[in-house]
Amino acid sequence: GESLPRDVDPGDDVVSGCINQSGLLKVRVTKVFGESTVAKILDLVENSSSKKARAENFITRFARYYTPVVVIGAVLLAVLPPLLFGGDWSDWLQRALIFLVISCPCALVISVPLSFFGGIGGASKQGILVKGSNYLEALAKTETVVFDKTGTLTKGVFEVVGVHHNTMEEKKILEYAALAESFSSHPISRSLKTAYGKEIDQKRVTDVEEISGNGVTAKVDGISVAVGNTKLMKRIGVEAVECHQVGTVIHVAIDGAYAGHILISDVLKPTSKEAIVNLKKNGIKETVMLTGDIDKVAQQVAGELGVDRVYSELLPADKVSKEEELLAKKTEK
């Protein structure tokens, strides 16, 4: 649930399903499978898919009694009049078949589930996953909409969103940073290389040193370049300028002097703000965002999009608990 990778140290908890981006990890399993995060997610999905709408459940129960009654009625209509009143067998059989066709519950029984299937199918074409017809039915009375953040309101990918306090051209700083990080496969390195946008000539780079938890130092065209966090800047004796925006800040020092910093963050989807505005226009009273990301990042995203309430640093199971709290507080109708 985090949009940025995090570092782990000996003794830290690692949630099952996480992906190790770099380095070697030795992980001790402390919970049985049934108590693991992945198992809890699977259980939530399985339970949600079994829920049907109230109207669908009613029509299913109704058909259980209505169908045999109609069939038995048709049989009696075909048999009893000829036996009791001496009517023509073929005439009463035809009447029984007409009665069966007219009273057939197919249209009635199929129409309700089919309308839900149509709604779910139409939503899926728009990229909306509805896990059961009961959720589709509930939309008519919805007052609160709860969103996940990463990959839902945001793109869920790293992008360079700005270069600040730079003492040289932005393109030049990105070039130095991308070349210095060219030998790394870290997501931040990939973002820098993408932002640079040109083919990288690694022959221009020498004396590369990756300092764990700090960043990278290298020589680009014979010029000393340091790319990393504030710890790296302190290490090489350069005073870093803090960023006023939220995200991952990559400081760059060139030839022993501070050259500026690059801001990398998870980018908002272009349709998110419009979607929230339209929801409120259509009667939604409150929007809520649940995220595993840190509070500082979550609050900034919520502020930019106009989300009413934010809950951050949540595990998947915590998100479900928080949603159940919100359901318990909903207006009774």
pLDDT for res 55: 65
Contact indicator for 218, 207 with CB cutoff of 8 Å:
yes
Least confident of 21-25, 70-74, 121-125, 282-286: 21-25
Active site residues: 148
Percent of the chain with pLDDT over 90: 20
Q: What is the pLDDT of residues 113-153, one digit of tens each?
A: 777 778 878 887 887 777 777 777 778 778 889 998 888 89
Q: What is the pLDDT of residues 265-279, one digit of tens each?
A: 878 899 999 999 999
Query: Does the pTM of the predicted model rise above 0.95?
Result: no
Report d(CA 163, CA 288) in Å as an integer.
31
Report d(CA 157, CA 248) in Å as an integer.
12
Q: What is the pLDDT of residues 78-114, one digit of tens each?
A: 888 888 887 788 888 988 888 888 877 666 667 777 7
Report which of residues 58 and 333 the model is more confident about.
58
pLDDT for res 293: 77
Which phi and psi angles does 261 have, rounded to 5°?
A: -135, 155
pLDDT for res 331: 59
Q: What is the mean pLDDT of residues 276-304?
A: 88
Which range has the top average pLDDT, 41-45, 51-55, 174-178, 187-191?
174-178
Q: What is the mean pLDDT of residues 167-175?
A: 90
Q: What is the pLDDT of residues 199-230, one digit of tens each?
A: 888 889 899 888 877 889 999 999 999 998 88
Q: What is the mean pLDDT of residues 235-248?
A: 85
- The DSSP-derived string for 159-180 is EEEEEES-SS-HHHHHHHHHHH
Q: What is the mean pLDDT of residues 67-84?
A: 85
pLDDT for res 101: 81
First CA to last CA across the chain, in angstroms?
A: 34
Written as one letter, the residue type at 10 is P
Report d(CA 6, CA 3) in Å as an integer.
9
Which band of pLDDT confidence, cut at 50, 70 and 90, is reported for residue 47?
low
Question: Rounded mean pLDDT of the chain?
Answer: 83
Which band of pLDDT confidence, cut at 50, 70 and 90, is reported for residue 311?
very high
44 has a pLDDT exceeding 70:
no
Report d(CA 311, CA 302) in Å as an integer.
10
pLDDT for res 52: 63
